């Protein structure tokens, strides 16, 4: 495969669909979530956790292990939030590097960075004990430059990761990509051991089992309508009755709704989309990703991809900052995938789906408290590790008063923003201009 000629904009293609094609996450096909008996909500609890994704369930597991009476409520079924919909690419770090965090936030910034490193290790440990069927594998991560101009930034990042953070990291020039990513359109990349693959829904099911075993009660299909402050504690009004609780943790990330208006003004939900191909077979899979790396590119409209455990290519991206249908996004992703891997032309798509990523105005995650309610969210697309660990830290804070050093970082908002991101199409125009530079 020639590496020297980046493709022009991929032509528009309509994705060929496999028999049994469906618009639900691939992961749901082979995950069994614990069955939870329908039972009436108790009137009181030590802690109510709103949201049963990685954040909420990791928090519940930790809180219950400290003997707290914990109720987890979720508006949907287990796995319906982003935690059951993501690409299963685990990485450490936040979107700002350590130098930036130190300069801007001092000790709190350093603490946030360290938390993000601990978060990565936490997933490996937790998956091994609570979800061995989630097939966690330390595969490494390859970040590819879609423009020659992006190599400079990648080189800087590579040096920082290697020298300051002790990661095993190397820069690959274009000619060296063949053995790693036999695909078109990239000028080189940064390869780091700091990347892993996981089956996210099975990992989530493992966290659910762990929290239930530790003593938490999980109530799916229970929507919180509002949270009323009582001065000491809160009353949580849900679709199935009210619960009075000493503490409330809001862990709703990209699905935050009017029940949590304080968070809604600070979280920007952005749709991300994924397609999965039919199984490629060993030879073709090896021709796509010989080392089974997690891969992404340097676009703002980024693409990310990996092989699934059964040898499909999972290919995801943002496709647009304006909401689009799954069918439109699927065809755009297919075109982009064929632009990168022309050898896959004609391979059929078996699954296409979408989910909400929770972004923040400072591109940082936040674990903080306002009006007696604790909030953990804003992982900007890296919530497998960050969500699991922020949830755990939230549990420690609520149960034992262990306040994280970064919890008083300001959680910024935009004036007049109330949860409907009217500005995203404009941001999209700006980002696609940047992507061409």
Q: List contacts with ligand FAD (CB under 6 A).
A: 50-56, 73-76, 80-83, 85-90, 223-224, 251-257, 259, 272, 274, 316, 355-357, 377, 379, 381-385, 387
Residue 43 or 261 having the CB closest to ligand FAD: 261
Residue with the shortest CB distance to ligand FAD: 383
Residues 6 or more apart whose CB falls under 8 angstroms from that of 378 comprise 253, 266, 267, 358, 359, 360, 364, 365, 366, 411
What is the nearest approach in angstroms of ligand FAD to the Cβ of residue 207? 9
Q: Minimal distance in Å, beta carbon 23 to ligand FAD? A: 13
- The residue among 272 and 368 lying less far from ligand FAD, judged by its C-beta, is 272
Collapsing DSSP states into helix, strand and coil, what is residue 123? helix
Minimum Å gap between C-beta 2 and ligand FAD is 29
Conformational region of residue 281, where left means phi above 0, alpha means psi within -120 to 50, and beta covers everything else: left
Nearer CB in complex with ligand FAD: 86/350:
86
* Shortest Å distance, C-beta 374 to ligand FAD: 13
- Toward ligand FAD, which CB reaches closer, 3 or 131? 131
- 3-state DSSP assignment of residue 403: coil
Contact assessment for residue 36 and residue 72, using Cβ atoms and an 8 Å cutoff: no
Q: How far is the CB of 269 from ligand FAD (least distance, A)?
A: 9
Cα four-point dihedral sign 418, 424, 430, 431: positive
Among residues 151 and 299, whose Cβ is nearest to ligand FAD? 299
Of the pair 280, 376, the CB lying nearest ligand FAD is at 376
Nearer to ligand FAD, 206 or 355 (CB): 355
Give the nearest distance from C-beta 173 to ligand FAD in angstroms: 26
- The angle at the Cα of 103, spanning 102 to 104, to the nearest 5 degrees, equals 95
Q: Shortest gap between Cβ of 103 and ligand FAD (angstroms)?
A: 25
In the complex with ligand FAD, the residue whose CB is nearer, 177 or 314, is 314
Q: What is the smallest separation between the CB atom of 304 and ligand FAD, expressed in angstroms?
A: 6
Whole-angstrom distance, CA of residue 215 vs CA of residue 71: 9
In this structure, are residues 415 and 370 in contact, taking their beta carbons and an 8 Å threshold?
A: no
151/249 with CB nearer ligand FAD: 249
Cα gap 282→279, rounded to integer Å = 9
Q: How far is the CB of 174 from ligand FAD (least distance, A)?
A: 25
Spell out the residues 6+ positions from residue 102 whose beta carbon is closer than 8 angstroms to its own: 109, 110, 113
Nearer to ligand FAD, 65 or 116 (CB): 116
The C-alpha angle with vertex 251 and arms to 106 and 232, in degrees rounded to 5, equals 85
Task: List, in sequence order, every residue forming a beta bridge with 307; answer none if it has no partner.
Answer: 313
Residue found under tokens 């000629």: 5
Judged by DSSP in three states, 424 sits in helix
Kindly report the backbone phi and psi dihedral angles of residue 426, in degrees, each rounded to the nearest multiple of 5, phi listed first. -70, -45
Nearer to ligand FAD, 187 or 365 (CB): 365
The nearest distance, CB 257 to ligand FAD, in angstroms, is 5
Least separation in angstroms between residue 197's CB and ligand FAD is 9
CA 222 to chain centre: 23
Cα 161 from Cα 156, distance rounded (Å): 9
Helix (H, G, I), strand (E, B) or coil at 126: helix
The structure tokens listed for 4 are 């020297």
How buried is residue 437: exposed, middle or buried, by Cβ count under 10 Å (0-12/13-18/19+)? exposed
DSSP string, 140-194: -EEEE-SSTTHHHHHHHHHHHHHHTS---EEEEEGGGGGGT---SS-SEEEEES-
């Amino acid at each position: 495969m020639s590496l020297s000629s980046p493709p022009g904009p991929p032509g528009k293609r309509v994705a060929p669909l496999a028999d049994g094609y469906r618009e639900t996450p691939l992961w749901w096909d082979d995950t069994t979530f614990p069955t939870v008996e329908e039972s009436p909500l108790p009137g009181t609890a030590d802690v109510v956790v709103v949201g049963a994704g990685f954040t909420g369930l990791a928090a519940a597991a930790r809180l219950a292990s400290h003997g707290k009476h914990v109720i987890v409520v979720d508006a949907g079924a287990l796995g319906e939030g982003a935690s059951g919909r993501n690409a299963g690419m685990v990485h450490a770090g936040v979107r700002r590097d350590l130098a930036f965090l130190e300069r801007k936030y001092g000790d709190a910034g350093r603490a946030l960075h360290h938390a993000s490193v601990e978060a990565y290790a936490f997933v490996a440990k937790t998956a091994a004990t609570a979800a061995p069927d989630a097939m966690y594998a330390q595969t490494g991560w390859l970040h590819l430059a879609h423009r020659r101009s992006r190599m400079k930034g990648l080189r800087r990042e590579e040096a920082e990761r290697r020298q300051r953070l002790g990661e095993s990291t190397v820069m690959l020039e274009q000619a060296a990509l063949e053995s790693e990513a036999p695909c078109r359109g990239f000028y080189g990349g940064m390869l780091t051991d700091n990347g892993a693959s996981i089956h996210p829904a099975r990992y989530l099911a493992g966290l659910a089992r762990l929290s239930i075993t530790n003593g938490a009660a999980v109530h799916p299909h229970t929507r919180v309508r509002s949270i009323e402050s009582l001065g000491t504690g809160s009353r949580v009004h849900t679709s199935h009755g009210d619960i009075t609780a000493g503490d409330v943790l809001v862990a709703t990330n990209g699905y935050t709704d009017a029940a949590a208006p304080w968070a809604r003004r600070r979280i920007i939900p952005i749709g991300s989309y994924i397609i999965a191909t039919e199984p490629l077979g060993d030879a073709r899979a090896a021709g796509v990703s010989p080392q089974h790396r997690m891969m992404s590119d340097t676009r703002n409209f980024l693409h990310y991809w990996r092989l699934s455990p059964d040898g499909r290519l999972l290919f995801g991206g943002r496709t647009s900052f304006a909401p689009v249908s799954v069918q439109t996004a699927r065809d755009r992703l297919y075109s982009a995938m064929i632009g990168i891997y022309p050898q896959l032309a004609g391979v059929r798509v078996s699954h296409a789906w979408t989910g909400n990523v929770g972004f923040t105005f400072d591109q940082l995650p936040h674990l903080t408290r306002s009006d007696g309610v604790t909030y953990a969210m804003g992982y900007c697309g890296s919530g497998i590790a960050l969500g699991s660990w922020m949830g755990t830290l939230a549990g420690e804070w609520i149960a034992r008063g262990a306040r994280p050093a970064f919890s008083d970082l300001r959680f910024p908002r935009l004036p007049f923003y109330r949860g409907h991101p009217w500005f995203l199409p404009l941001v999209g125009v700006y980002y696609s201009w940047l992507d061409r530079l």
